[in-house]
Chain A
Amino acid sequence: DTAVSQTPKYLVTQMGNDKSIKCEQNLGHDTMYWYKQDSKKFLKIMFSYNNKELIINETVPNRFSPKSPDKAHLNLHINSLELGDSAVYFCASSPGAGTNYGYTFGSGTRLTVV
């Protein structure tokens, strides 16, 4: 199926651990994003890559590091996890950079830090 797929779907980990979330899209899109959705359903953009190049880097702690090995993949590594990192993380993609396209979202990774 054509889609944006994220793994894992659920992630429960202890404070201080390091974890990664992977995202892949087979839509042929050039641009990929990471969004964070908090417990109040507020969605905030974290990063965006266009053809493997970082184009949006919001005010996010340095513990969060994205990596795009190719334009179909965008991973998110989080060091030294904190309780406040608990949220749902969504990967998304669009045909190109900017806002002239609808975004296709993955189903999310629910991260719980205990």
Chain B
Amino acid sequence: SQQGEEDPQALSIQEGENATMNCSYKTSINNLQWYRQNSGRGLVHLILIRSNEREKHSGRLRVTLDTSKKSSSLLITASRAADTASYFCATDDTGFQKLVFGTGTRLLVSP
């Protein structure tokens, strides 16, 4: 299946440090998306990166995409306690009709 796999499964850092999460997938994609889920809440869309893009920025977020390696990374710079959440990558299924979510990375940012 196309389900992405995030690495690491869990990450614990101090406020002010950078956090990097990786996502690997199996088949060719149209685009890749990253979402954040705070505990007990719904998912929030962060960034969409298309297959012909290599890097995208949004505030303190930087996403890279390497289609040759079928991988993406999400970098959160100068992390804050409020960044504590689970982060999911999502990719197209083979027919580009639906989003398939990865297994998620749980990020804990300590003050």
Contacts and interface: CB of A to CB of B under 8 A. Distances in A.
B43 A48 contact: no
Contacts of A41: 37, 86, 103-104
A103 B43 contact: yes
Interface size class of A (residues with CB under 8 A): 20 to 34
A33 B42 CA distance: 13
Interface string A80-103: 000000000010100001111111
Given A56-B98, A99-B30, A107 B86 contact: no
A56 B93 CA distance: 12
Contacts of A103: 33, 35, 43, 45, 99
Given A43-B88, A100-B31, A106 B100 contact: no
A98 B96 contact: yes
B25 interface: no
A43 B44 CA distance: 14
Contact of A90 (B43, B48, B86, B100): B43
Interface-central residue, B40, B45, B99, by most chain A CB under 10 Å: B99
Interface of A: 4, 33, 35, 41-45, 48, 55-56, 90, 92, 97-108
Interface of B: 30-31, 33, 35, 37, 40-45, 48, 86, 88, 92, 96-101, 103-104
Given A41-B37, A45-B100, A99-B96, 10 more contacts: A4-B42, A33-B98, A43-B101, A55-B97, A99-B30, A99-B31, A99-B33, A99-B99, A104-B45, A107-B42
